Amino acid sequence: MTDTEHRPSNFIRQIIDKDLASGKHTAIKTRFPPEPNGFLHIGHAKSIVLNFGIAEDYQGTCNLRFDDTNPLKEKVDYVESIKKDVAWLGYDWDGEPKYSSNYFDQLHAYAVELIEKGLAYVDFSSQEQMREMRGTLKEPGTNSPYRDTAVEENLKHFADMTAGKYEEGKAALRAKIDMSSPFMCMRDPVIYRVRFAHHHQTGDKWCVYPMYDFTHCISDALEGITHSLCTLEFQDNRRLYDWVLDNISIDCHPQQIEFSRLNLQYAVMSKRIINTLVEEGKVTGWDDPRVPSVAGLRRRGYTPASIREFCRRIGVTKMDNQVEMGMLEA
């Protein structure tokens, strides 16, 4: 990528500048972590330009990591499409593409560590019971009857989960945090669940899979990411991100920073809705020129440089805003 346009400062770059000036970091490492459960759209392009652009501007590196913790929805075809789109936009990731599944052994070991510290427990409540126990935004949650199970029993139960002795939905590993927290994500979230499904990377090795919030922060730390940039819907989850890293034996603690996602007027950005349109034959596929996917924009004749420039022009803020399609046309 050889663009040399002036890149205005924003609050994320100000944080990075401060970290470099203070000596907190001497090199910057970011990542773009899509889940391979669909094709990339213009909203992903904003994240790509931000993460890879920051790495370039600070002579750092950016990983391409596939957050592949849900084998039921993920496909190798999506992996290959995402790699193609990132390369087409003009970016080179550091080394080989990474996969969260590369770290399943370490993630499992960290889950065991939390159990040993009395910070995680196996819950046999149903999903409906867990929802009821979570409480509401106005009412605190209630403790699970399994919350105070002895460490030794929890270790055995988790080993049995791993060995496939429980059916899906019959047991889950939960972090033991605070059922009265004002943040719902901190009310003993599930961090591992049973799932009998073939995984595109690990095959049939595992029948327990870590949840995204448990996986993401540890994957960042294992890769030495300095600044973990994500959209605003993960703002509350930053507390869980930090809690996990504070309570396991790991040296690196990346900083999660949130920014507003791209909301494009008069454009469908939801993977679920676009998939429905494809299935119903309303559009010919994800590369239909009417779809605001990277592949669709490519077919409409947009160049990588024009998309990168559009993503830079809309800027990076914490304020949700609607961007007119005309800005992309300009």
Q: How far apart (Å, rounded) are the C-alpha atoms in residues 310 and 314?
A: 6
Give the tokens for residue 12: 């994320």
Catalytic residue among 13, 147, 195, 261: 261
Beta bridge partners of 172: 123, 193
Contact 74, 36 (CB under 8 A): yes
Q: How far apart (Å, rounded) are the C-alpha atoms in residues 306 and 7?
A: 15
Catalytic residue at 261?
Answer: yes
If one counts every other C-beta atom within 10 angstroms of the C-beta of residue 108, the result is 17
Count, residues in the chain: 330
Catalytic residue among 13, 75, 134, 271: 271
Catalytic residue at 35?
Answer: yes
Beta bridge partners of 229: 257
| 154-170: burial string, b at 16+ Cβ within 10 Å, e else | beebbeebbeeebeeee
Catalytic residue at 156?
Answer: no
Dihedral angle at the C-alpha atoms of 46, 52, 54, 59, nearest 10 degrees?
Answer: -170
Cα–Cα distances in angstroms (integers) from residue 181 to residues 62, 106, 143, 177, 299, in the given order: 34, 28, 12, 8, 48
Spell out the SS3 assignment of 101-147: HHHHHHHHHHHHHHHHCCCEEEECCCHHHHHHHHCCCCCCCCCCCCC
Dihedral angle at the C-alpha atoms of 182, 183, 186, 187, nearest 10 degrees?
Answer: 60
Catalytic residue among 35, 195, 290, 309: 35
In the DSSP assignment, the letter for residue 97 is: P
Give catalytic residue positions: 35, 261, 271
